[in-house]
Homo-oligomer: A and B are copies of this chain.
């Protein structure tokens, strides 16, 4: 009985993972668009004030069960790694 429950819950996790995957990729596409505009403006991609704004908005809207420390940590990783990959690709383009 609980083995069946376990399987059902794991299917839920798999579905949620795929939905999160879709959203972080969609997010990366928008970050890329922002990068292009900033490049034209000659502005740095990394903007600590904007990052603070995003984390504050997440804080105001976090209903748990994850606490704010966990949410901050996960999103900082998302911010950092997405930017890192996009910058690496930009560098490759420049080398071609």
Contacts and interface: CB of A to CB of B under 8 A. Distances in A.
Contacts of A38: 6
Interface of A is mostly: helix
Interface string A36-65: 011011000000001000100110011111
Interface string A5-29: 1100110111011111101111111
Contacts of A50: 10
B18 A20 contact: no
Interface residues of A, number: 54
Contact of A78 (B18, B64, B74): B74
A71 B13 contact: no
A20 B20 contact: yes
